[in-house]
Amino acid sequence: MPGTTNLPTLGRQSLPRQPNHQAAAYPQSYYAATRYEATERGSLTRPTEADVCVIGGGLAGLTTALELQRRGQETVLLEANRIGWGASGRNGGFVSAGYSEGLSAITAKSGLEDARALYRLSREGAAYVRQRVAAEPEAGIGLVEGRLSVLRIDGADRTKRMRDRMEKDFEHAMVYWPTDRVRAALQTKRYFQGLQDPEGFHIHPLNYALALAREAEQAGVAIYEATRALALEREGGRHVVRCAAGGYVTARELVFCTSGYEGHLFSPLTRAILPIATYMIASRTLSEDERQAISLPYAISDERRAGDYYRLYRDRLLWGGRITTRREEPKALGRLLKQDVSSVYPSLSRLQLAYAWSGLMGYALHKMPLIGPCGADAHGDGPPQDGLWMATGFGGHGLNTTAMAGELIASAIAEKDDRWKLFRPYPRQPVGGRLGQAAVQLTYWAMQLRDWLDERRTG
Ligand SMILES: Cc1cc2nc3c(=O)[nH]c(=O)nc-3n(C[C@H](O)[C@H](O)[C@H](O)COP(=O)(O)OP(=O)(O)OC[C@H]3O[C@@H](n4cnc5c(N)ncnc54)[C@H](O)[C@@H]3O)c2cc1C
């Protein structure tokens, strides 16, 4: 970061806002079409200053900014496009405890005691979302209770073992569903047993992000859309973030919440995050006949390594699935996912689609989020001397973990809370560029093949 001198700064609140010219529009998704407000926030075109500058206006950035401001830290949030434009406004909407990485791997690496503490944090993240949704009854977030994970390979014993382990090791009571109960609720022979998480729920994620943004602004956060952070400089011990629209922010600390859309802003993070795409569709209003297929309003997923995730939401079916390192959206995205739907529910083979879209998740190699200091002194014992923080890499389990990370980073900055240290066994590490991407894609194909063979062998 080259140094600069004599940059003039203005107070935060006195800034003029320009019309929003450069933001990419929301993708044509069910969520964008049903968002509860269309407020456009202007770009940052002048200098400003803050205690903390948060980069990225997804759920991680929004929660971090809200929680910082609540703790008395003057905060500016920069979003390159629109609030919730990234994965946060495009996802499946499932909210439940846990991480992208499985609990066995976390326990193997962190030990049982820390794995328990990590799990508790992830659970608090889900509880945080529930609380915020309750505080915003008019925001169209539409919380629906219920979360069920189903097996595509017969496995009563292993499902019961999993339930017992969750209760014994993680004090989380799950409910075992035998195959006949699953098949009474879901009209398909593809599924066997299930595990219900009574704490799980699902929401309208874009409306949640927009409500968080409004709450953050009411608390005093200055939010700029169409404001891509382009370059980082250092001046007199403070950070200077130069933005695409000509403005810049001078701040004591920076928090990177840029996930799979990071681009090339901060190379240690660019190298540490692998963007992985996943797809979603939304049906038109379901007919009475179609509604018979899924008589359960829960968030449902199967337990394959990259399985289907779907839910009835309001009067439609929202269905997601597949992962790939390819960033371009396939032309036949809708058709691909429709095939997935009818391979599980043949009675839905004539499903009419209204929307099909994709989104990028940010993954670290270890599949755990990157939370904590991220600059040159990231490996020191205390808070970073250079004031650089990250809250990113939430993978496909980000609705609860972004909330958790926002609280952790805000309390680390404002109150010297050091719970982020639980994430030290999961540091940022290079993902290996294009070679790394190719390796991940190969691993994914191998996993798909293994799932397919397993199902043929046992089914
Ligand atoms: C299709 C899909 C389905 C999913 N389903 C679920 C689910 O059901 N449950 C679940 O828990 N998780 C799910 N996930 C994962 C979850 O959505 C993500 O983990 C979470 O939203 C990540 O939030 P974030 O704030 O870290 O990133 P994002 O929401 O991607 O936000 C990053 C933001 O940073 C901005 N940005 C990037 N670079 C810059 C820059 N230089 N300057 C300014 N701004 C910048 C981007 O424009 C973007 O808005 C899903 C993800 C996808 C894509």
Please give the full DSSP string across 358-411, using - where no structure is assigned.
EEEEEE-TTSS-EEEE-STTTTSSSS-TT-EEEEE--TT-HHHHHHHHHHHHHH
β-strand partners of 355: 282
Task: Please report, for residues 131, 199, 345, 363, 395, the alpha-carbon distance to residue 360 in angstroms, rounded to integers and kept in the order given.
Answer: 27, 26, 27, 9, 9
Count how many Cα atoms sit within 13 Å of the Cα of residue 285 in the half-sphere of its side chain.
Answer: 2
Rounded to the nearest whole angstrom, what is the distance from the C-alpha of residue 10 to the centroid of ligand 1?
31
Residue with CA nearest ligand 1 atom 53: 359
**Pocket, ligand 1, Cβ cutoff 6 A:** 55-61, 78-81, 85-88, 90-94, 228-229, 257-263, 265, 278, 280, 309, 320, 359, 361, 392, 394-399, 402
50 and 191 co-located in one domain: no
Residues 288 and 314 in one domain: yes
Residue 349, domain extent: 147-197+275-360
- Whether residue 354 sits in one domain with residue 279: yes
Residue 415: CB atoms within 10 A of its CB come to: 10
Q: Is residue 47 part of a domain?
A: yes
Q: How many whole angstroms from 279 Cα to the centroid of ligand 1?
A: 13
Residue 73 maps to a domain: yes
457 pLDDT band (50/70/90 cuts)?
low
- Domain contains 120: no
Question: Could you identify the atom of ligand 1 that is nearest to the CA of residue 60?
Answer: 25
378 confidence band (pLDDT: 50, 70, 90) = confident
Instruction: List b or e across 145-157, with b for residues whose CB sees 16 or more CB atoms inside 10 angstroms.
Output: ebbbbbbbbebee
The SS3 call for residue 205 is helix
Domain match, 280 and 188 both: yes
Q: Which residue has the tokens 């839910």?
A: 311
The one-letter code for the residue type at 265 is: L
Closest to 294 in 3D by CA, of 204, 191, 201? 191
| pLDDT at 162 exceeding the cut of 80 | yes
Name the 3-class secondary structure at 227: coil
pLDDT tens per residue, range 28-73: 999 999 999 888 999 999 999 999 999 999 999 999 999 999 999 9
Domain-ending residue, one of 331, 360, 389:
360
Do 354 and 219 lie in one domain? The reply is no
Please tell me the predicted confidence (pLDDT) of residue 10.
32
**Beta bridge pairs of residue 231:** 242
Same domain for 318 and 253: no
Atom of ligand 1 lying closest to residue 227 CA: 43
**pLDDT over 90 for what percent of the chain?**
80
Contacts of 42 (CB under 8 A, 6+ apart): 17, 18, 19, 20, 224, 225, 226
Who contacts 293 (Cβ-Cβ below 8 Å, separation ≥6)? 186, 187, 188, 345, 347, 348
The number of the ligand 1 atom at minimal distance from the alpha carbon of 393 is 26
Structure tokens at 36: 């509860």
What is the spatial distance between Cα 407 and Cα 394, in angstroms, rounded to a whole number? 15
Q: How far apart are CA 394 and CA 64, in angstroms?
A: 14
Mean pLDDT in residue range 217-237: 96
Q: Is residue 378 part of a domain?
A: yes
**Whether pLDDT at 8 is above 50:** no
- Are 399 and 333 found together in one domain? no
Residue matched to tokens 């017992």: 164
Boundary-marking domain end, from 337, 360, 383: 360
Minimum CA distance residue for ligand 1 atom 51: 91
CA dist 58 and 281 (Å) reads: 21
Based on the fold, state whether residues 176 and 295 are members of the same structural domain. Answer: yes
Is position 416 within any domain?
yes
CATH number of the domain residue 396 falls in: 3.50.50.60
Cα–Cα distance measured from residue 307 to residue 447, given in angstroms and rounded to the nearest whole number: 11
Mutate to test the pocket of ligand 1, among 41, 64, 76, 79 (most ligand atoms within 8 A of CB): 79
What is the structure's pLDDT at 46? 97
Confirm whether 25 is domain-assigned: no
pTM of the predicted protein model: 0.93
The stretch 347-355 carries a mean pLDDT of 95
pLDDT for position 323 = 85
Question: What's the rounded Cα separation, in Å, for the pair 336 and 321?
Answer: 10
- Under 8 Å CB-to-CB from 229, ≥6 apart: which residues? 55, 78, 80, 241, 242, 243, 265
Mean model confidence pLDDT for the chain: 90
Q: Is residue 109 part of a domain?
A: no
- The predicted-structure confidence for 269-295, as pLDDT tens digits, reads as follows 999 999 999 999 999 999 999 999 999
Comparing CA positions, the residue from 252, 188, 202, 237 lying closest to residue 53 is 252
**Do 188 and 151 reside in the same domain of the chain?**
yes
Structural domain contains residue 192: yes
Please enumerate, as own/partner, the contacts of 31-34 that have beta carbons within 8 Å and a separation of 24 or more: 31/89, 31/90, 31/204, 31/205, 31/206, 31/207, 32/89, 32/206, 33/355, 34/140, 34/204, 34/207
CATH of the domain at 312: 3.30.9.10
* DSSP string covering 333-352: HHHHHHHHHHHH-GGGTTPP
Query: What does the block give as tokens for 236?
Result: 């007199």
Tell me how many domains the chain contains.
2
| 243 CA: nearest ligand 1 atom | 42
Same domain, 281 and 193: yes
Instruction: Please state the φ and ψ torsions of residue 121, each to the nearest 5 degrees.
Output: -60, -45
Same domain, 232 and 247: yes
**Are residue 373 and residue 416 in the same domain, yes or no?**
yes
Structural domain ending residue among the three candidates 326, 360, 394: 360
